[in-house]
Chains A and B, each alone.
Chain A
């Protein structure tokens, strides 16, 4: 296999990466590279194979086939050396519920063989960073979901990782807690930490990722920056129409030719066009009277719909 010099410099390099669970194919021959300093995302619905991929990068799940190198090393044989330089935020919190907040960070630092004094210092700094200093001596269980997530992020940073893996960092959090997490991740990005994250929220992917791949049914279906993916797979604007339930059948034929592409969803109709206003006026001229009309910019959600024919969140 030919490998270009830029690929060799990649922090994560995968070719034909595959994971089987018995007969089930969770990851089916995917290719990607993560460059140092970038924020790279896997965007895809539940069951796409995101977590399985992250676990292989984390060296806690052996690839069934294909090539994978992490930090230039082989995950199967160099697991401990690779993991020493990774930070991991797993999909489900795995905090040590028997220990207090500060003890969680201290013991985790010790797993990385950090000297005790340094472990204590890192604990203080990181509690400050994730704004949990006042909860340092509390038990973990009563913390809110957002606080637990922040503590998990602090824990992942304890060894000053070169590569931070975040599996659905904000799933299940309320909007305020999400923004707090995003803010911290954004700061890390500014500091030059390489981030690999998975998400099924298109806004999260747009906010945080420099580059992403869209995953569906164990495969990568598209790759690029959020902007480029939208330019490539969608139109500039989207006209969203909602109709009273009984008005839908009367639409037959009336939408043809108004937009580049039409998607009929159960709850709304999407018309992809470079000019939403013009499309709306044209429909009005044809006597189409929706209950509500919205003109918006295209998002990654539209890209996903285009590529897979389904919504990201069912």
Chain B
């Protein structure tokens, strides 16, 4: 009896090989819709051009980072890179994942094959991470071309962006499992927009009064921005480990919630 209770609770563990087939399914789809994929990259680039350079021209050299003055565009660009990684991951896991979960019933079909829910979660999150990383890579190249990179540490900005993608993909997937209708995504946007605007993206966190700074510290994008900005500007400090840890923990919490929820929704 005890044994049967234990086996009943057993969740099929993910296997990279199985999850990879779901990633491949997405590449089959986007081979024909690559324009859709690429479009998500331009939004943060436009922000960089408009605000980084446009507003930057008004601001001048007035931003200080770790005691050094930097051009406003140098300050804003890494934040936009972090945002591009976030966007790629969230577009994929919020909207696309929800469509596949609730409307096209893709996962009902997939779960009839050897893949389990954990494989589906891992596969989709990996794909979202790819998409986010692709945007981040494009952005990093654009930053280099525009002379906005100030340190060789910037090479680590790509893995940092991948971590951001992973975290947001996991949280996005977990969130999507709670979404009931497309209208609920308005709520997701209500969270995403302030996250984008207030995560020390356009100005340093020190602008806020103390208590508000504490609140901003909860924003995963704040930690992502902090990570990428430190690397592209070469201002390395132990604080980076805190930023990275926060994102890693969030990713695993998201993954665990996503797996459990999918188990409940799909394997009744």
Contact = CB atoms under 8 A, between A and B. Distances in A.
Interface of A: 21, 58, 60-62, 74, 76-77, 79-81, 83-84, 86, 88, 90, 92, 94-99, 103, 106-108, 110-113, 155, 159
Contact of A96 (B10, B17, B106, B116): B106
Contacts of A84: 113-114
B110 interface: yes
A83 B114 contact: yes
Contact of A111 (B12, B108, B114): B114
Given A60-B266, A94-B106, 15 more contacts: A60-B111, A60-B267, A61-B268, A62-B267, A76-B8, A79-B12, A79-B116, A84-B113, A84-B114, A90-B112, A92-B105, A94-B104, A94-B109, A103-B29, A111-B25
A159 B266 CA distance: 23
A111 B29 contact: no
A24 to B, nearest CB: 12
A61 B21 CA distance: 23
A111 B7 contact: no
Contact of B112 (A74, A88, A96): A88
13 contacts: A58-B112, A60-B108, A60-B111, A61-B267, A76-B7, A77-B7, A83-B112, A94-B109, A96-B106, A97-B104, A108-B109, A112-B113, A159-B113
A21 B264 CA distance: 12
B109 A110 contact: no
A107 B111 contact: no
B115 interface: yes
Contacts of B21: 107, 110-111, 113
Given A62-B267, A77-B7, A94 B108 contact: yes
B113 A83 contact: yes
Contacts of A108: 109, 113
Contacts, number: 82
Contact of B28 (A58, A92, A107): A107
A97 B7 CA distance: 35
Given A61-B268, A94-B109, A97-B104, A112 B28 contact: no
Interface string B162-187: 00000000000000000000000000
A222 B132 CA distance: 57
B8 A80 contact: no
B24 interface: yes
A234 B33 CA distance: 59
Contacts of B112: 58, 60, 83, 86, 88, 90
A74 B108 CA distance: 21
A309 B243 CA distance: 69
Contacts of B17: 113
